[in-house]
Each structure stands twice: as C-alpha cells, then as structure tokens.
Structure 1
Amino acid sequence: MTKLDQELIALRRQIHRHPELAGAERQTAGLVAEQLRAAGLEVTTGVGGHGVVAVLDGSADGPAVAYRADMDAVDARTNVLPIPRSGRVFDEGFASRAPGVEHLCGHDLHTAIGVGVARTLARGSEPVRGRLVFVFQPAEEPLRGARAMLETGLVQRLAPREFYAVHCSPFPAGTIAVSPGYGLPGLDHVRMVLPGGDESVAAAVASEVAALGTVEFPRSIDEYQARFQALVAPQIAAADQESVCVAHWTAQTADGHPATEVLLRVWPQERLPELRARIERIAVAAGGHVEHPVDPFPALVNSAELSTAAGQYLTTALGPESVVWARASWPFNCEDFALFLNEAPGAMLYLGVADTATGINGAPHAPDERAIGHGVRAMAGLLTHRLAVSRPSS
C-alpha cells in the first residue's frame, strides 16, 4: 500500500467520522479544497452550495475531461434501504460522531478517490494534455446538488468534453463494472387523489399500481448484492434488460381526500409516458385524478461508446479479470450525475468494495478500503488516456 493510499484511507475515515447532510457539507468541502490547493490545482468553492470545482491545466493543448465525486451523507433514521451494520467500520474508532447522520452510500469513498485522482495527476511524471476538471458535488441524495452547480454556469464554461464518476458496488475489490448504454433509473412522483370515505379504494388502487411491473426494493445489502451480481452473471451478460419499473406507494391525504403517492423508478426512460398514462387510467377508473407535484428526474444513461472505450482501456491496463461487463440497468436509486451526463457524454463506473474472504460484503459504509487505491489508479489512468486519445475542440 502506497503512502498516498494510506493518506486517502485516513481522509476517508475522517469524512466518515464527521458526515454532513445534503446542503451542510461545509467541513467536507473544506477538506477537499485544502488538499486540492496543496496539490497545485485552481480551486473554486461555494459552487451551488458547498460544491468544489478544481482545474488542472496540462502543459499541452487538448480537450477538457471532467470527473465528479459526491460528498453528502444520509439521515440514517430515514434511510430507505436497511443496511446491516458491520463491526469492521463501527468498532475501529471512526464511527459517525453526528447523531443520526452516516455515510451509508459510499460518498466518503467517492470523495477520497476524487481527491486521490487529482493529487495523482497533479504530481504525475507524464504531462497532462488538455484540462482536467474535478467536480465535488453536494446534495446528491435529494437530487439537488448537480442542478445547483450547473445553474452557476461554471461547469459549462469549463466545457468538459466527457464526464466520468465511480460508485461503490458489491463486486470484489479490485474490479470495476462498466455498463455501456445502461445506467440507473429515472424518478417520477405521481399523486393519485381518490374519492374520500373508503380506504378500500386506496388499497385496491395500490394493488393495481403494484402490478405495473414492480421490482421490489431490496430489503438488505445481501439481497441487493445478490440482485446486483445476478445482473452480470455470465449466462445473461449478453442479454439486454429491457425495462425496470420500481414503484413505491404510501396512503396519504391531499386536501382532505385519500391519496396514493406513487414513486416510479423507471428504466428505460422511454417507458415513463406509458406508465404515467396507465396510472392515470387507474385513478380515473376509481373516480379520482392524478397530480404531478414535480417534473420527472431523468435516468442516468451511460454513453455506449465511451463506456465501451473505458472498459477496453481498463481491460488492457488492469487485466481482463478486473473488468466486469454489465449489460443491464441497476434496479436501484436514481442519481443526479445524470444531469452532468446531459451536459457531456460519459459514464458512471462501478467500483468493487467487497472482500468476502474477510466478511466484507460490499456495503458502501463498510468497504474493503484497498478499493480506494484501486479506484484512484484506474480513474487516473482512464482520464489521462481519454485526454491523450481525444482531439482538441476546434
């Protein structure tokens, strides 16, 4: 393990010990900015809240390529995925010191890896051709941070040609999954306002919604891991997952009337109009109507071309045993990295953090910390490679 690996593990543990909710990432952003400035990057803070943007200009002309990491933690009391705790993390002296707030989704690793990539490339012996843009994003969990950063216009002015990110996953540490043309579901909120006075109506409507192709949310990290692995099993690795629709519903009231809140996680995104129409027909048949409180959130769609190119590079650089080809969408949360991919094509890659031999099942809050170094070396190499093979903008 290198000295940088050790320093990044210490950084990850410090962030894990002091997690901050969406919109409150002041200390985490300060740590990130301090390390990036020390590495010689040009750093802008306070971007869309506590966002940090750092620029590394190379010694030769070339395009701009961007890398994004998210920084916020979650409210563990309301987390929708009940992730079992692992003593490996919580007994080693760096458990969360913020009551009810924890890094359950791996953003502490994502941040440490992003810092490590920037530091590696800033001190590298090989000259960087072009510009590297590092985006450390707040408020990913509520899907606010990417939009807030983009609304400042800073990322667009830096004009990245391609955008990349990594997310922790239950694959073995040292492996990276790529999913060309696939990604994560979009999200849509639908409120079905139903006739009052009969709770059985809401129950019946909920039952009909459940029949719209629902994929139940995993109840534990072990169930999620099994489902995650099944998506890339060799026997289906070449088969497309054509659609995933995850629906949740809870009986609520709106203006004194019973209502059913439907939360749709939809893949592919093209299915959304059809599903909205079917839900509206169900509501109207029950004597009610449908409301859409917010606009739908887009699905994250990895560029087929750039994901394939990334997988090919990583296969050559790391060896074929280190790359998993996943031709399927993940039946999990949506991700606001989708908004950055609307600005420039790119990919989210899935970094393995599991080590089953030592009982580390890949839960993002309890990873094999050697994955940090794996992620840094993989992504530093990939970004350098992408700058080398991309032509400058005309």
Structure 2
Amino acid sequence: MTGAQIEAVAAPLDEALIGLRREIHRWPELAGEERRTAGLVAERLRAAGLDVRTGVGGHGVVAVVEGARQGRTLLYRADMDAVAVEQGTAGAAHICGHDVHTVVGVGVAEVLAGLRDQVAGRVVVVFQPAEETLEGARAMLDDGALDPYSPEEAYALHCGPLPVGVFAAMPGAGHPGFDAARLELPGADAGRALLDRIDAMSTVRRPESDAEFADMVTALQTPDGPLARFVLTGSQLDADADPVTADVWVRAWPEERHPELRDGLRRLAAEAGARITFPGPPFPAMVCSPELTEAAAAHLREQPGVDAVLTLHAAWPFSMEDFALFLHRMPGTMFVLGVGEQGRPHKPGFTVDERAIGVGVRAMTALLLHRLDA
C-alpha cells in the first residue's frame, strides 16, 4: 500500500477528526465513566461500515476491520479515560492525551475501512476504558474483547512532549510495573519515620519542573543512564485511623526487582514494629518487543510526515500502563507520538498540537498495513 493511497483516504477525515478530539476534550470522563466518549467512537465506527461491539469490560468498544482477503490478525489499542483533577469538567481533564489516542484510533479504523478492498487480513481496534486506574485492559480481556480473534501482534500510541512529526520507540523498555502494600503502624510518629525510610529507597524522583522533566526524557535516550535501573516509592499516611495505617506503592525497573524490594519493605516494617500486607502480586511492567519495535521503527522512519523516530532505552518511571496486559498475550509495542513540547502530561498546562492527529493516523495505518504483509 502506498502513501498516496493512504493519503487519499486520510486527508478528507482530518477536519472531522480534529472536531471529534475537541468534542471529547470538552467532555472528559473519568475511568469507568466513559459512556459518552464510547458512544461517539461507536457512532463513527459504525458509520464507516465496521462491525462494532460496545460495553466490553465496562465502556470498552471493539471494532473489526476485515480485509477482502485472508491474512494475519493484528491489534491496535487506544485508551479513552481522562485524568482526575480538582479543576475541570466534573473533576476530570484530558491532560494525558487520551483524547488524542482515541481519535487517532478512530482515524486508523476509518482509513483501514476505506482501504479494506485492498487489504489481506484483519485489524481488531480496541478502545479501552479505565487505563488510569489499571483496570480497563483486564476487564476487556476478561470480557472476551479478543474473542474469537487471536491477534498475532499489538500496537498502540501514547502522547509525549516531542515535536510534531517525531516518534519515540521503546525496544525492550516501556513503562514500569507497580507494587502496593498496606502498613499497620504503632503510631503516627513511628509511621512517618518508617515512611521516610521507605522513601529513601527511591533512586529517582518525580520531576518538579519542565527542566527536570526534559532532563528525564534525555536520560531515557541513554542506554546506561540513571533510568536504566531505578526505584520510585510513594505513600499516604492515615494518622486518624485506629490503628494508624499507610498505603505504600513502589515502581521499579526492571520489574524483576520487585521480590527483593518486597523483602526490603518487610525488613523495614519489622524493625519499626509495623505489620505489612500485600494485596496481590505486582502489576506487570509494559515491555515492548525489541524485535517488533525495531522493525516497526525502521518502517516509520520511511513514512511521509515522520521527521524522526527516537529510541528510548529505559522505562518511564512516573507512570504505569495496562497495555502491558495485552503484551502479555502477544508481542507488540507502543510508540510515543510527539504532540508538541508545551507542558508535561498529567500536569496543568499540557496542550496538544492537533497536527499530530493526522501524523499519528497516517503513520499507524501505514505500519499496520505493513505488518499485515509481514
């Protein structure tokens, strides 16, 4: 499939996709509450003539683009929920870019639908709720989102503070997992002292300024940089509870470190006379297939509108990503889509250059078509 063929279908969609993004942005919905967003998505996909399922794992939407000929099956995933904030519509705002993820997913499905007479194979496009709470992917998978399909590879995008036209690939890296513990403490003062000791386990911290954030993004591009191996902790103390309690979380890379970190938490708790419990196993890290990521990045570099594909050699330490659960079912990768360098994701002031929508639609459509032919 040529770039000209993709462009002929994509170009007439650009204005409507920007309008859809603005509509979703005006009405952000928290994790598990994405009813309106899911309705808008399903309406567009049905209008494109696609087979659409709704209410999958909550407000999840699954659309299937069937090519004219038999072939491989791929998965493309987008997330729909907004971030909880004090200032925003009903306490929510799209300051992480999921509105862009959703609209790019719609555009990819629509372009593929317009080209399906020339396509061999199938693409399952999944619009997932509740990514911010790490609940949506599991709920969709448990509800049969991939039934009766068996995708061979999975792909996704996430917005990032990079120039429009720039992507970032994460071969062998991605996002860290997440471990959580509950502490019952002998008192508030003892609890604060213990939490200070737990916080000292951290080898990195969340960036407090745009400059620190830029330094962290640069460090991700360094194979042996400070983010190649890290621990990041956090906690919340309830001094009014009886007994006094605290919730603790730990993110670490690589995820194989979690058993040793649990041992360290148990030791610190015992020394402080505290009781520690873990509600379940650590949530898995999202690890992108090195082979598929490198192959996909090489293809993206040849696409019109793609100025560069950077390589990130370490995990983002300050966020998790439940696309990890899809990647536990099949190999795949997530790319960072440059949406401009104004602000940081999850922070007030984060804005998106809407030209990135068309770049993402064209690049991901070209990639999926390429992988169908692999």
If the length of structure 1 is used for normalisation, what is the TM-score?
A: 0.86
CA distance in 1: counterparts of 2:225 and 2:211, whole angstroms = 24
- Structure 1: which 5+ runs fail to align? 79-95, 390-394
The Cα offsets for residues 320-370 of structure 1, whole Å up to 9 and x where unpaired, read as 841101111111210111111111110111001115xxxx34647411110
Match of 2:36 in 1: 27
1:212 maps to 201
d(CA) in 2 for partners of 1:329, 1:132: 28
Residue 126 (structure 2) pairs with residue 135 (structure 1): yes
| Partner Cα distance (1:217, 1:362) in 2 | 12
Note if contact 1:55-1:133 (Cα within 8 Å) is conserved in structure 2. Answer: yes
Closer, same or farther in 2 for the Cα pair 1:325/1:71, shift >3 Å? same
Counterpart CA distance in 2 for 1:369 and 1:67 is 21
Alpha-carbon separation, structure 2, partners of 1:77 and 1:362: 17
Matched, 1:7 2:10: no
Note the 1:166-185 alignment, pairs <5 A. 166-185=157-176
What secondary structure, in the 3-state scheme, does the structure 1 residue paired with 2:302 have?
Answer: helix
| Residue 372 of structure 1: aligned partner | 357
The number of residue pairs the alignment matches comes to 362
Q: CA deviation at 1:239?
A: 5.8
Q: What do the CA deviations read for 1:275-303 (whole angstroms, capped 9, x no partner)?
A: 00001000001112211134321111111
Helix, strand or coil: the match of 2:319? Answer: coil
SS at match of 2:263: helix
Partner SS state of residue 193, structure 1: strand
Whole-angstrom CA distance in 2 between matches of 1:161 and 1:348: 15
- Segments of 5+ residues of structure 2 without an aligned counterpart are 1-9
Q: Does the 8 A contact of 2:184 with 2:245 survive in 1?
A: yes
Q: In structure 1, the residue corresponding to 2:122 is in which secondary structure?
A: strand
Q: Return the letter of the residue paired with 1:227.
A: M
Q: Which amino acid aligns with 2:160?
A: S
Displacement, 1:110? Answer: 0.4
Q: Secondary structure at the match of 1:270?
A: helix
| Residue 257 (structure 1) shift | 2.1
* One of 25, 28, 50 as aligned partner of 1:16: 25
Does the C-alpha gap of structure 1 residues 240 and 343 become closer, same or farther in structure 2, counting only changes over 3 Å? farther
Q: Report the Cα offset of residue 161 of structure 1.
A: 0.5
For 2:105 and 2:371, the matched residues in 1 are separated by 17
Give the deviation of 1:219 after TM superposition: 2.9
CA RMSD in angstroms, aligned pairs only: 2.2
| Preserved contact between residue 171 and residue 362 of structure 1 (Cα < 8 Å) | no
1:192 aligns with 183
Distance 1:348 1:24 in 2: 25
Distance 1:204 1:272 in 2: 23
Paired residues for 1:116-265 under 5 Å: 116-124=107-115, 127-196=118-187, 199-220=188-209, 223-232=212-221, 236-237=222-223, 241-252=227-238, 256-265=242-251
Equivalent position of 1:275 in the other structure? 261
TM-score normalized by the length of structure 2 = 0.91
Q: Distance in 1 between matches of 2:55 and 2:183?
A: 39
CA distance in 1, matches of 2:56, 2:98: 18
- The reply to whether residue 64 of structure 1 matches residue 73 of structure 2 is yes
The equivalences for 1:83-122 within 5 A come to: 98-122=89-113
Distance 1:162 1:11 in 2: 28
Change (3 A) 1:125 1:63: closer
